[in-house]
Chains A and B, each alone.
Chain A
Amino acid sequence: MQHVALSIFDKELCLPFFDRLTELFHEHHHSEEQDPDGYESLLYRVYRPYKPEMLDMIDGWMGLEERSWRAETQREVLLSLYAIRYPDTLLIESLTDKARSDIRRLSAYLHFTHHTYSIWDDDTRKGLGKLGIDIPEMREADPFIYGAYVSSIELLKDVAPFTCFLEHDVPRQRLFQSALAAYGRES
């Protein structure tokens, strides 16, 4: 998929974004709304064996309302977090409707347990669109759309110049996803 994506990738369109990537990252990730300390804390507080309380912490940081899931749904999601391996997203298809009903929530669980999966965010999607990478809107988790979203961010990581890469304690997917979100919000 990455090879196909590279053949239609417009690097020129990305240059203004790459030039400002670190500034855009700071604008989004270090905003009060994003609570960067809370984010960093989750990097350390979410680990195996995964527990419902860890999902609660992620929900809290994301500002999501409390999950109204049955115990089986919760168990199903927790088990899927062990099973999934990047770049697979098809596993999402096997989840029940309730678990798939909110891609923001599900992608956040995936991100904090496997950094290679990015948090779904509509501003980030718009940011990708400005780079010529059109990803459809989504509320319920669609494995193909989410797969395209994640691998597009991964692709950007591959082609970005070294000046984009900060050395601090933020996974690179978060670095790019945050910068894209700030970029997507700009008119």
Chain B
Amino acid sequence: MADTEVVESYPTNFETWIEEFNEWQTRIGFDPSWLGDYRFDIKFDWDTAGDEIEFGDFEGMPKWNRRMQIPQQNIMDAIITMVSVQGDTEFASVEQQNHLLDTAPTEYDKKSALRIMCEEQRHGWQMAYLLCTFFGEQGVREAAKLLERNAQEGTRILGSFNEPIDHWLDFFMFTHFIDRDGKYQLKMLSTSSFKPLAASMGPMLKEESFHLGTGANGLRRIVKQGVIPCALVQKYVNKWVSTGLDLFGTDDSTSAQWAYVYGIKGRYDERETAESADRDHLNEASRDLYFQELREEMGRISKARKEGEPELFIPSDKFRRGIGKYAGKNFTVDGEPFDGSDHEWEEYLATVLPTEEDEERLVNEYMKQEWIQYREWKGN
């Protein structure tokens, strides 16, 4: 197929995009009947979006409500990229997780996971709406791509969203660590100078809090039940933390700096902090807050462990990093430099990350028992 034909096949507006979305659901194996009476509404919270640009070089000016108000093409491109990346993660997570519904440990977990998948789709739907409604043909093309990339094919934009989620322990790790990164990204966009984007974040953040709670409580219920040893749970913690840290982007990021200059993406605590921003290290600042939050949360999860079980901890932010100043270097989970050979490094990794044998034992031994504290679904 020629390039021009591909472009011509793109949906022309949001209504046409919805038809593509319906086909996407079928393609990835998400049965629309699972939605029940759930509807993909477009939700805005204009009250929390703010009227004036809150930071950056346009601070104090009215927020932009329409494309024509955005002063420069490069700012518009940056907004489109932000919306596209956000939307990409939403659909990716459904592709990663929907196969788990058949193996849910309890009805409560099944319904929680289903609710999460419905809401993630709504978030993607909201991002597609912004692209189609506010950014003309360029936006429509990007909205179409949200449904073309695929987590199972490894073509989603961010690495964590191409990682397979093979079982429910990974699911809880994902919702605890990766959705928590999502919370940070949404909050950073909630102060955006592009008002429809800022106004989209409030309802999404409300829904996201349930996703994080599902992850944190799921891990706590696992630890409390005590069937899966904490030493094994720790290996999965080690696996997911580094990928969560990488999601914040590179150190000394210029794109984060420009996003701040344009006022389209703030700091996580933009409205709460009195300190002025260190524009050269914006990603690092958000990552540090995230890392600190992970430690506090892990302390809470670990408290539930049975007597004699080792305390769970968050590995060093130097361990197994894919980007940033520690990328490509070998550090232990305690943050100490690893001086051994490549072979010794691989041996070390097998002691701190899940191996094939660990996966085998987890799925075929521990998960055959009552491995998670029972809970009944009672609405929320």
Q: Which chain A residues have a beta carbon within 8 Å of chain B's beta carbons? A: 11, 43-44, 46-48, 86, 112-116, 161-163, 165-169, 171-172
- CB-contact partner of B45 in A115, A162, A166, under 8 A: A162
Docked complex Cα distance between A115 and B380 (Å)? 6
Residues of A within 8 A of B379 (CB): 86, 114-116, 171
Residues of A within 8 A of B343 (CB): none
Q: Does B375 have its Cβ within 8 Å of any Cβ on chain A?
A: yes
Q: Are B209 and A44 in contact (CB under 8 A)?
A: no
Residues of A within 8 A of B380 (CB): 115-116, 171-172
For residue A158, which residue of chain B has the nearest CB?
B206
In the A-B complex, the 3 residue pairs with the smallest Cβ-Cβ separation, listed nearest first, are: A162-B205, A47-B376, A167-B212
Docked complex Cα distance between A86 and B212 (Å)? 25
Residues of B within 8 A of A172 (CB): 380
For residue A162, which residue of chain B has the nearest CB?
B205
Q: Are B375 and A43 in contact (CB under 8 A)?
A: yes
Q: Are A169 and B217 in contact (CB under 8 A)?
A: yes
For residue B221, which residue of chain A has the nearest CB?
A44
Q: Is the interface of B mostly helix, strand, loop or mixed?
A: helix
- Kindly identify, within residues 200 to 235 of chain B, every residue whose CB is under 8 Å from any CB belonging to chain A: 201-203, 205-206, 209-210, 212-213, 216-217, 220
Docked complex Cα distance between A171 and B216 (Å)? 14
Kindly provide the distance from the CB of B28 to the nearest chain A CB, expressed in whole angstroms.
27
Docked complex Cα distance between A169 and B215 (Å)? 10
**Can you show 14 pairs from A to B with CB atoms below 8 A apart?**
A43-B375, A44-B373, A112-B378, A114-B378, A115-B380, A116-B379, A116-B380, A162-B48, A162-B190, A162-B205, A165-B205, A167-B183, A169-B216, A169-B220
Docked complex Cα distance between A46 and B374 (Å)? 10
- A44-B375, A114-B378 known; A162+B206 contact, CB < 8 A: yes
Docked complex Cα distance between A166 and B205 (Å)? 10
Docked complex Cα distance between A44 and B377 (Å)? 10
Kindly provide the distance from the CB of A89 to the nearest chain B CB, expressed in whole angstroms.
15
Residues of B within 8 A of A169 (CB): 213, 216-217, 220
Contact with A along B359-380 (1 / 0, CB 8 A): 0000000000000011110111
Residues of A within 8 A of B220 (CB): 169
Residues of B within 8 A of A46 (CB): 376
Q: Does B347 have its Cβ within 8 Å of any Cβ on chain A?
A: no
- Kindly identify, within residues 36 to 73 of chain B, every residue whose CB is under 8 Å from any CB belonging to chain A: 45, 47-48
For residue B213, which residue of chain A has the nearest CB?
A167
- Given A116-B379, A167-B209, 16 more pairs with CB closer than 8 A: A44-B373, A48-B376, A113-B378, A114-B378, A161-B47, A162-B201, A162-B206, A162-B209, A165-B206, A166-B213, A167-B213, A168-B213, A169-B216, A169-B220, A171-B380, A172-B380
Kindly provide the distance from the CB of B216 to the nearest chain A CB, expressed in whole angstroms.
7
Total A-B pairs in contact (CB under 8 Å)? Answer: 56
For residue B220, which residue of chain A has the nearest CB?
A169
Docked complex Cα distance between A165 and B183 (Å)? 12
Residues of A within 8 A of B201 (CB): 162
Docked complex Cα distance between A32 and B206 (Å)? 28
Residues of B within 8 A of A11 (CB): 47
Q: Are B202 and A167 in contact (CB under 8 A)?
A: no
Residues of B within 8 A of A166 (CB): 209, 213
- Kindly identify, within residues 164 to 219 of chain B, every residue whose CB is under 8 Å from any CB belonging to chain A: 183, 190, 201-203, 205-206, 209-210, 212-213, 216-217
- A44-B374, A48-B376 known; A161+B48 contact, CB < 8 A: yes
Kindly provide the distance from the CB of A59 to the nearest chain B CB, expressed in whole angstroms.
18
Q: Are A115 and B217 in contact (CB under 8 A)?
A: no
Q: Are A162 and B378 in contact (CB under 8 A)?
A: no
Q: Are A165 and B376 in contact (CB under 8 A)?
A: no
Docked complex Cα distance between A86 and B379 (Å)? 9
Q: Are A161 and B209 in contact (CB under 8 A)?
A: no
Q: Are B376 and A168 in contact (CB under 8 A)?
A: no
Residues of A within 8 A of B183 (CB): 167
Residues of B within 8 A of A167 (CB): 183, 209-210, 212-213, 216
Kindly provide the distance from the CB of B147 to the nearest chain A CB, expressed in whole angstroms.
27
Residues of B within 8 A of A113 (CB): 378
Docked complex Cα distance between A181 and B132 (Å)? 44
- Kindly identify, within residues 6 to 34 of chain B, every residue whose CB is under 8 Å from any CB belonging to chain A: none
Residues of A within 8 A of B190 (CB): 162
For residue A112, which residue of chain B has the nearest CB?
B378
Docked complex Cα distance between A44 and B376 (Å)? 7
Q: For A43, A113, A166, A167, which residue has the most chain B Cβ atoms within 10 angstroms?
A: A167
